Chains A and B, each alone.
Chain A
Amino acid sequence: EVQLVESGGGLVQPGRSLRLSCAASGFTFNDYAMHWVRQVPGKGLEWVSGINWNSRNIASVDSVKGRFTISRDNAKNSLYLQVNSLRPEDTAFYYCVKGISGYYYYGMDVWGQGTTVTVSS
């Protein structure tokens, strides 16, 4: 069974940083692209960033470019999201999502349970 377990969220002041992690199991992690998607409670979904199986291709939504960095460690079956210069509008539930194939343009299938990031002074 595919399992994705996020961690690293919390309450943080504007301008500070966090590192979100996602531990993957139940599938061959280094065969698949991975994504981060966020959701404000009660609101819609917003794709944040994606990374190919070999980390050679990475993409992010404009609103986080220069502040958020996606990365992965295939040896540790782990996905990360370094989030810097946090803003109140970054407050959301952050999901780790498995790609359908090795390339992020093929879409997403299995979602983790998410971790909450709250940006407030």
Chain B
Amino acid sequence: QSALTQPASVSGSPGQSITISCTGTSGDVGGYNYVSWYQQHPGKVPKLLIYDVDNRPSGVSNRFSGSKSANTASLTISGLQAEDETDYYCSSYTSSDTWVFGGGTKLTVL
């Protein structure tokens, strides 16, 4: 049950788009469409951004979108804003009947 692989950090300028990758295996990301993304500001609880690969809960901005190709899921944030600067985590259901998270990515808005 190894953690999913995310880049430690990404950065972008206001108004730009960035993509955060989340790489797993055929036993997790590649094998199921149960991939979620969370945003966590310092000292706050995680907030669900995307579930089932590309579904947005009500109330989440349409600037956030998800996708998946083979064993890699991606979170794209368009129209980058200063408030987007924080940590992002992916997660996936696995063939071991468990959930696994990525190590987290820190987004810096330049």
Q: Mark B1-45, 1 if CB is under 8 A from A, else 0.
A: 101000000000000000000000000000010101010000001
Bound-complex Cα distance A24 to B102 (A): 27
Contacts of A114 in B (CB 8 A): 45
Verify A100–B91 contact, CB threshold 8 A: no
CB distance from A107 to the nearest CB of B (A): 5
Total A-B residue pairs with C-beta atoms closer than 8 Å?
62
Bound-complex Cα distance A50 to B101 (A): 14
Query: Which of B's residues lie within 8 Å of A, judged by CB?
Result: 1, 3, 32, 34, 36, 38, 45-48, 51-52, 57, 89, 91, 93, 96-104
Closest A residue to B97 using CB positions? A59
Query: Which of A's residues lie within 8 Å of B, judged by CB?
Result: 35, 37, 44-47, 50, 59-62, 95, 100, 104-114
CB distance from B87 to the nearest CB of A (A): 9
Which one of A37, A46, A105 contacts B97 once the chains associate, using CB atoms below 8 Å?
Answer: A105
Verify B97–A44 contact, CB threshold 8 A: no
Verify A108–B48 contact, CB threshold 8 A: yes
Closest A residue to B32 using CB positions? A105
Bound-complex Cα distance A105 to B98 (A): 8
